[in-house]
Structure 1
């Protein structure tokens, strides 16, 4: 079994974070790292009680939280072979982690995206702007970078050394698409696996507001064109 670790960026997820941590198959994962991104609730305390390593990132932004987790795991004594990212809102199914990492283990794939478009999606779990935005972004990725994706889903796995080589930079909404764009540019072997998706616990900080939806859409498109 390879050394697999999980990073969970989290902002005000006290009602969901323990569910996510508890549903991660422990026999597959060496360490779960929750990055508390300026939560004003008990997210950090609940995550610690559930057995996660908890880090604090005071700079707001999804990418900032992910970068904090990567930086922590970059220490030689902590480095995993495979790193999995999953959101803290319990919209994904953490028990599908083995399905996500299997192509890396069995087929020497470099990166696997969990595709909500290919899996079973609960009604109302994704808003129309999310569905349309994913379609538009993945269509542009195919047009400009020659890679076929169906989703920019947050539930994903990647070889840790390949992740470090991508030199990720985005601090906010462009994080997921930056990873896929850079993977395409560096000719990484990538694939998708179907993952199921359900209504999240609580309100989305991105798709739950008009401002968040607009900013996320802008940042995703900006990132796609930035690396052309």
Structure 2
């Protein structure tokens, strides 16, 4: 769970982690006490000094010890109680990578600019990989060792896209399942503004450009 100044959201998020699951919170340079709060609430805290969404996600993947790992944001936009639904196709052997397709529960949950950017990325992914995805959702599940074997290198906003592209190139079965999407707590560091969304899209376009010559 990548985390940057999410102290306001962490109590709600961590109390909804399914029983028996281990929460790995990767603090990416918070100044609001997020790391200390997460630890006090029972999470295993990893500190990743290199800034970037991908850097935090990959640090969490490396720190995890379970056979199957899940990714989830720490901003309360995604409900951790949905994680068993996302992981079930992997557990059952029906999928290798499952993405949570976000379904807004209120009109303000998903800003227009972020939805438009997501739609365009879905189109580019379909053209590049043949996958017909409705969302490049941040809630996802896969087996840890195969994920590490993909050799993911992006450490910015392109990390989730690179995961999908490399999984598709490796012949993985990629599936989606619906998950509720709520208004986040606090201000978004990535897609909360047009500028942040533009930078995220540029990161992801760079991933697609770099991967264009890969052998499928």
Q: How high is the TM-score relative to the length of structure 2?
A: 0.94
Which residue number corresponds to residue 152 of structure 2?
168
CA distance in 2, matches of 1:166, 1:215: 24
Match of 1:52 in 2: 43
CA distance in 1, matches of 2:101, 2:146: 20
Deviation at 1:222, TM superposition (A): 1.6
Query: Which of residues 17, 26, 48 is equivalent to 2:19?
Result: 26
1:193 and 2:184 matched = no
Q: Which of 119, 123, 126 pairs up with 1:142?
A: 126
Q: Is the 8 A contact 2:117 2:197 kept in 1?
A: no
Deviation (angstroms), 1:36: 0.5
- Which residue of 79, 86, 92 maps to 2:78? 92
CA distance in 1, matches of 2:17, 2:185: 17
Structure 1 runs of 4+ off > 4 angstroms?
A: none
How many residue pairs match? The answer is 212
Tell me how far 1:120 sits from its aligned partner. Answer: 4.3
Matched, 1:15 2:8: yes
1:68-217 alignment runs, 5 A limit: 68-73=59-64, 79-116=65-102, 119-217=103-201
TM-score, length-normalised on structure 1? Answer: 0.89
In the alignment, the residues of structure 1 paired with residue 163 and residue 123 of structure 2 have an alpha-carbon distance, to the nearest angstrom, of 16
> Tell me, what secondary structure is at the counterpart of 2:181?
coil
Shift, 1:211, TM fit: 2.9
Structure 2 stretches lacking a partner, 5+ long: none
Deviation digits for residues 70-124 of structure 1 (CA, Å, limit 9, x no counterpart):
2223xxxxx21110000000000111111001111123411100001xx343211
Per-residue deviation, 1:21: 1.1
Separation in 2, partners of 1:108, 1:25: 22
In 2, Cα distance between equivalents of 1:38 and 1:166:
26
CA distance in 2, matches of 1:212, 1:69: 23
Q: 1:200, 1:188 → 2: CA distance?
A: 31
CA-based RMSD of the aligned residues comes to 1.2
In 2, Cα distance between the equivalents of 1:220 and 1:121? 26
- Measure the CA separation in 2 of the matches of 1:71 and 1:82: 12
Identify unmatched segments of 5+ residues in structure 1: 1-7, 74-78
CA contact (8 A) 2:113 2:194 kept: no
Q: Say which is worse superposed, 159-168 or 195-204, in terms of deviation.
A: 159-168
Measure the CA separation in 2 of the matches of 1:214 and 1:84. Answer: 26
Per-residue CA shift, 1:21-48, capped at 9, x if unaligned?
1101113x1x211000000101011101
Give the Cα separation in 2 of the matches to 1:49 and 1:126. Answer: 31
